[in-house]
Amino acid sequence: MENKRLKWLAAPYGVWAAGFIIIPLLMIVIYAFTSQETGGFTLSNFGDVFTGEVMKALGLSLVLALISTLICILLAYPLAMILAGMKVSQKSFIVFIFILPMWMNFLLRTFAWQTLLEKNGVINTLLGALHLPKLEIINTPWAIVLGMVYNFLPFMILPIYNVLIKLDQDVLNAARDLGANSFQTFWKVTFPLSLPGVISGVTMVFIPSLTTFVISDLLGGGKILLIGNMIEQEFKQLNNWNVGSAMSMILLIFVIVSMVIEAKYDKTGEGTAL
């Protein structure tokens, strides 16, 4: 009887979610199918989306996002394992150290890479002093990949770390006990059991990488257009919200796919919380 009444405490949120989550998304859909000139139904916005430039930008975004996600997994997994294996007394401090950078404004952090990577930047000055070849990745896709990895790495470390520390040590011991060496134990037990964390990390790295316009803006020298830049342009400069919405809808498809995958692996819905 108490349940029935308590349920209504979620009503304000229900209204809020409908107004500010659901309806705005519908807005995008409506705009995507509306003509800018006539205001009537049209598919022509999608015609503008499936052009060479936009598809190229989308393709490039996909490739860069995939590369970044992969690098993030490769960097974060060993790190998460090292962190999970540390003594309890050190743990909170170490984890804290990996989260702390997120408190510096993300635009500034990314921007700082310009100073580091520039032709006469900090890194190249150091390399020059050591008579090493210069690192020339600023204003190339690689600088953008670096920016993505840099910004989103913590989002990969934390979910994997969270899964790893919750692993029952005795399950791993059992594998050793049954004859598996440490490599076999990792591949047959540790890794499959940590997959939910990896999946959660992948969705938290892939989608932001796919849709960013800031990182490409700051580290790409305006030479590289990602799908995010295209959308930003449509809304902020070209003022064509309909085509912009159509592009956003394409991104929405990727978002939905990732939500479905995430929901499949993370049944409790807690894995995404930091």
What residues numbered 154-183 form the site for another protein, per CB under 8 A?
154, 168, 170-171, 173-182
Among 66, 74, 102, 132, binds another protein (CB under 8 A): 102
- State the Cα–Cα distance between residues 192 and 20, nearest whole angstrom: 38
Which residues in the chain belong to E strands, given as ranges?
none
SS3 for 268? Answer: coil
The encoded tokens of residue 243 equal: 């085509």
Which of 45, 39, 24, 30 lies closest to 246, judged by CA?
45
Q: Which of 38, 89, 130, 133 binds another protein (CB under 8 A)?
A: 89
Considering the rule CB under 8 A, would residue 184 count as an interface residue with another protein? yes
Residues 6+ apart with CB under 8 A from 252: 25, 28
The Cα–Cα gap between 100 and 96 comes to 6
Give the one residue of 67, 127, 135, 252 binding another protein; rule: CB under 8 A. 252
Q: Which is nearer to another protein, 131 or 168 (CB)?
A: 168
In angstroms, what is the minimal distance from the CB of 76 to another protein? 9
Give 186: exposed, middle or buried? Use CB within 10 Å, 0-12, 13-18, 19+.
middle
| Angle subtended at Cα 155 by Cα 152 and Cα 161, rounded to the nearest 5 degrees | 140
Identified binder of another protein from the candidate list 67, 79, 137, 165, rule CB under 8 A: 79
- The owner of tokens 């939910």 is 196
Shortest distance, position 185 Cβ to another protein, whole Å = 8
Looking only at residues 39 through 58 of this chain, which bind another protein when binding is defined by CB under 8 A?
A: 52-53, 56-57
* Of the residues 70, 73, 135, 255, which one makes contact with another protein according to CB under 8 A: 255
Of 114-153, binders to another protein (CB under 8 A) are 115-116, 118-120, 122, 136, 139, 150, 153
Which residue lies nearer to another protein by CB, 92 or 131?
92
Kindly state whether residue 228 participates in binding another protein, applying the rule CB under 8 A. yes
238 binds another protein (CB under 8 A): yes
Longest dimension (CA), the chain: 77
Q: Which stretch binds another protein (CB under 8 A): 39-47, 66-74, 158-166, 235-243?
A: 235-243
